[in-house]
A = this chain, B = another copy of it.
Amino acid sequence: MFYPEAVAVIGASSNPQKWGFGILHNLIQGGYKGRIFPINPSQKEILGIKCYPSVSSVPYKIDLAVIVVPPEKVFNCVIECGEKGVGSLVIITAGFAESGERYRKYQEDIAQEIKKYGMLAIGPNCQGIMCTQSNLFAQFVWLFPAPGKISIISQSGNVGASLIGRGIFYGIGFGKFISSGNEAVVKSSDLLEYLAEDQDTSVIMAYIEGVGEGEKFFKALSKTTPKKPVIILKGGTTDAGNKACASHTGVMAGQESIFSSACRQAGAILVDNLDDLFYASVTLAHQPLPKGDRVGILTWGGGWGVIAADSCVRQGLKVPPLPEDVIEKISHFLSYRWSHNNPVDLAASGGRDALSKALEVMIKSDAFDGIIQLGIGVSSFMRYIADSSFFFNSPDRAKLRKIMIEYAIKQDEEMSRKIIELSFENSKPVLCASDTASTPSPDNVAWQILKEKGMLIYPTPTHASKAFAWLVRYSEFLKKRANS
């Protein structure tokens, strides 16, 4: 399914407003290298590719067929694919179990035919699938992320798309994406089992509304979590949400308390909103696991340090006092006004490399299992100042302006590289938060360097503390497993 040699788009359209156009377009745009067969009886050619009137008229083997015809035509279309010997289907078409009992029955009939022919099928009522390793973008949403270690299972296409969109915005890549829709044939549990073994996937993020056969799902989950982290956002945890699921993917969301305790028992990380789903997955995919829960906090500004300390403790982390030797070492290069305490608050003293020097002392100390670093990234703000200030904009200060911006860029570069280097050398996570650097931009040097390693700049200290806590939770889960 993810590495097909030939793909048919049944219901391909030449009208750019139709999904049948979008899917064909995205297959081409994504750079898929295999054969593509648009199927449409009334067209000779779409987007420069020869069209066939039906699947059966294609004189080649078809590995994957994407179906995007009206719902009443799906049944015959499936039979035709079965007869042709197609390996896998992705049924985009909606109007099945989510539209009421009559349509649920129809969906079941189709599922039976698919199984009879021994085909795999994703959907119906889904957005498609994506595999960045094979340049396969068999989906109607126009999003083309770079390859990466995170794969997504989403029972909602728009939730999946919004996660991928975020990834693109922050420069985070993905591996596979499956918009599983109503899950008439292939279930989330099957997808989990597959992704557990997938070499290209190191973290699985999932949006789940309902799991049908619960036992199978939790069994698959328990087998996956010792190999790689699984982060789950459950939709339909309340009565109103549950009703919304019924008309969305036609599943019963089930009882929240049972689902969440089973998930936790199976070692999954449960979150309750999209931000957490994104941040937890990206963090677990790109940061080393800490050996314990002791956080060293390093900050340019006092208030952010206080907020970080509070929120670490609230997340169940420890913020231990500074050992004597750390205090002594840091005092060598900072003014007396630094905090002498964890958080290490530089109180804006110490020059360009004060942050990296303090970071090095802290990360090398046995007192800490990882660092939260607040206030990286000054160059984009410096450029903003230089561009808006009457002083720096005056022509006779062009040289000073240039020096200041270059100084800031150099500071960002050195600090970002040092963070990567120290984190890898010491196998400890360094989570950065900053308000000036959390939004990507061409001027944002720190973001540009850190994103190459998939390292985020979190927008607030609270985000960074939560992220640290997810790392600790997964690390503790693995330790417990190893000891049991």
CB of A54 within 8 Å of the partner chain: no
Quick one: which of A144, A249, A339 has the most chain B CB within 10 A? A339
Instruction: List B contacts of A247 (CB < 8 A).
Output: 302, 339-341, 345
CB of A104 within 8 Å of the partner chain: no
CB of A404 within 8 Å of the partner chain: yes
Q: A16-B404, A404-B16 are in contact. Are A310 and B235 (CB under 8 A)?
A: yes
CB of A300 within 8 Å of the partner chain: yes
Task: Assess the A207–B303 pair: CB atoms within 8 A.
Answer: yes
Q: How far is the CA of A302 from the CA of B306 in the complex (A)?
A: 39
Chain A 235-259 against B: per-residue CB contact (8 Å), 1 yes, 0 no? 1111111011111110000000000
CB of A81 within 8 Å of the partner chain: no
CB of A218 within 8 Å of the partner chain: no
Instruction: List B contacts of A390 (CB < 8 A).
Output: 28-29
A25 CB contact (under 8 Å) in B272, B314, B391: B391
CB of A162 within 8 Å of the partner chain: yes
A462 CB contact (under 8 Å) in B273, B309, B313: B273
Task: Assess the B275–A319 pair: CB atoms within 8 A.
Answer: no
Quick one: which of A235, A306, A391 has the most chain B CB within 10 A? A306
Chain A 184-224 against B: per-residue CB contact (8 Å), 1 yes, 0 no? 00000000000000000000000101000000000000000
CB of A20 within 8 Å of the partner chain: no
Instruction: List B contacts of A161 (CB < 8 A).
Output: 301
CB of A4 within 8 Å of the partner chain: no
Q: A47-B391, A166-B435, A385-B142 are in contact. Are A304 and B159 (CB under 8 A)?
A: yes
Task: Assess the B462–A389 pair: CB atoms within 8 A.
Answer: no
A337 CB contact (under 8 Å) in B94, B154, B302, B345: B94
Quick one: which of A94, A240, A274 has the most chain B CB within 10 A? A240
A240 CB contact (under 8 Å) in B162, B312, B347, B436: B312
Q: A302-B156, A307-B235 are in contact. Are A244 and B142 (CB under 8 A)?
A: no
Task: Assess the B241–A306 pair: CB atoms within 8 A.
Answer: yes
- Oligomeric state, in copies: 2
Q: A156-B302, A314-B272, A439-B439 are in contact. Are A248 and B391 (CB under 8 A)?
A: no
Q: Which residue of B lies closest to A401 (CB)?
A: B16
Instruction: List B contacts of A460 (CB < 8 A).
Output: 273-275
Task: Assess the A99–B165 pair: CB atoms within 8 A.
Answer: no
CB of A342 within 8 Å of the partner chain: yes
List A338-383 residues whose CB lies under 8 Å from chain B: 339-343, 345, 347, 375
Q: Which residue of B lies closest to A349 (CB)?
A: B94
Task: Assess the A158–B313 pair: CB atoms within 8 A.
Answer: no
Task: Assess the B235–A311 pair: CB atoms within 8 A.
Answer: no
Task: Assess the B241–A309 pair: CB atoms within 8 A.
Answer: yes
CB of A151 within 8 Å of the partner chain: no
CB of A169 within 8 Å of the partner chain: yes
Chain A 160-171 against B: per-residue CB contact (8 Å), 1 yes, 0 no? 111001100100
Q: How far is the CA of A460 from the CA of B461 in the complex (A)?
A: 19
CB of A333 within 8 Å of the partner chain: no
Task: Assess the B336–A99 pair: CB atoms within 8 A.
Answer: yes
Q: A244 to chain B: closest CB distance in Å?
A: 4
Residues of A within 8 A of B (CB): 16, 25, 28-29, 47, 94-95, 98-99, 142, 144, 154-162, 165-166, 169, 207, 209, 233, 235-241, 243-249, 272-275, 300-307, 309-314, 319, 336-337, 339-343, 345, 347, 375, 385, 388-391, 400, 404, 435-436, 439, 459-462
5 A-B pairs (CB sep. < 8 Å): A169-B439, A235-B303, A237-B310, A248-B302, A275-B462
Closest 5 A/B residue pairs (Cβ): A156-B303, A158-B301, A248-B302, A241-B310, A159-B303
